[in-house]
Amino acid sequence: MKLYLLATLIASTALSACSVFEKKAPAAEHACKQTTKEEIAALFDRWNNSLKTGDPKKVVENYAEDGILLPTLSNKPRLTQAEKEDYFKHFLEKKPVGKIDMNHIRIGCNIAKDNGLYTFTFADGSSAPGRYTFTYKWDGNKWLISSHHSSLMPEKTTGAKGKSKKH
């Protein structure tokens, strides 16, 4: 009987000690932001509207501090806010306006992905069709872009009507 009591005492002491070292995260950290595909789709509109301001700082406000931008018209990954601002300073000179051609949105706990195709039209009348991925994270206040990848479509369009080549 003494052995059983001693084993029980040791086990309960060990379990109590483990709970002292267990890191407790605040409940808010684990709460998932409820959202919809429409809300996530509207984040592109927010970003596109910031492009229309012509102010690179306004565009960069959409990005998380630790976010990455892999831009359409530059080979250099942009990791810092200053690097993103530099990219948009030059990109905005073309006065781009984006339009979603198709998208596919997936939602998780405090993250969302918007992948698809978009076309930029520029002030000179030229356009650039591309593929994109926006990954968003909820910072407790608003959705921010944590990753943005954009690339030109690999198949060139031909003619004034913009019909794609068939391969």
The residue range of the domain holding 105 is: 34-154
Residue 163 within a domain? no
Residue 103 lies in a domain: yes
Per residue of the chain (167 residues), give pLDDT as tens: 554 444 444 444 444 444 443 444 444 557 999 999 999 999 999 999 999 999 999 999 999 999 999 999 899 999 999 999 999 999 999 999 999 999 999 999 999 999 999 999 999 999 999 999 999 999 999 999 999 999 999 987 554 444 443 33
With respect to residue 167, please indicate whether it lies within any of the assigned structural domains: no
Q: Does 132 fall in a domain?
A: yes
DSSP string, 32-96: PPP--HHHHHHHHHHHHHHHHTT-HHHHHTTEEEEEEEE-TT-SS-B-SHHHHHHHHHHHGGG--
**108: which DSSP letter?**
-
Q: What is the CATH number of the domain that holds 150?
A: 3.10.450.50
> What is the total count of domains within the chain?
1
CA distance 105 to 85: 26
Instruction: Tell whether the torsion through CA atoms of 108, 134, 81 and 43 is positive or negative.
Output: negative
9 in a domain, yes or no? no
Question: Does residue 85 fall inside a structural domain?
Answer: yes
Residue 7 lies in a domain: no
Query: Is residue 17 one of the residues assigned to a domain?
Result: no
Q: Angle CA(45)–CA(48)–CA(54) in degrees, nearest 5?
A: 145
Q: For residue 87, which phi and psi values (nearest 5 degrees)? A: -60, -50
CA torsion 84-89-95-97 (nearest 10°) is: 10
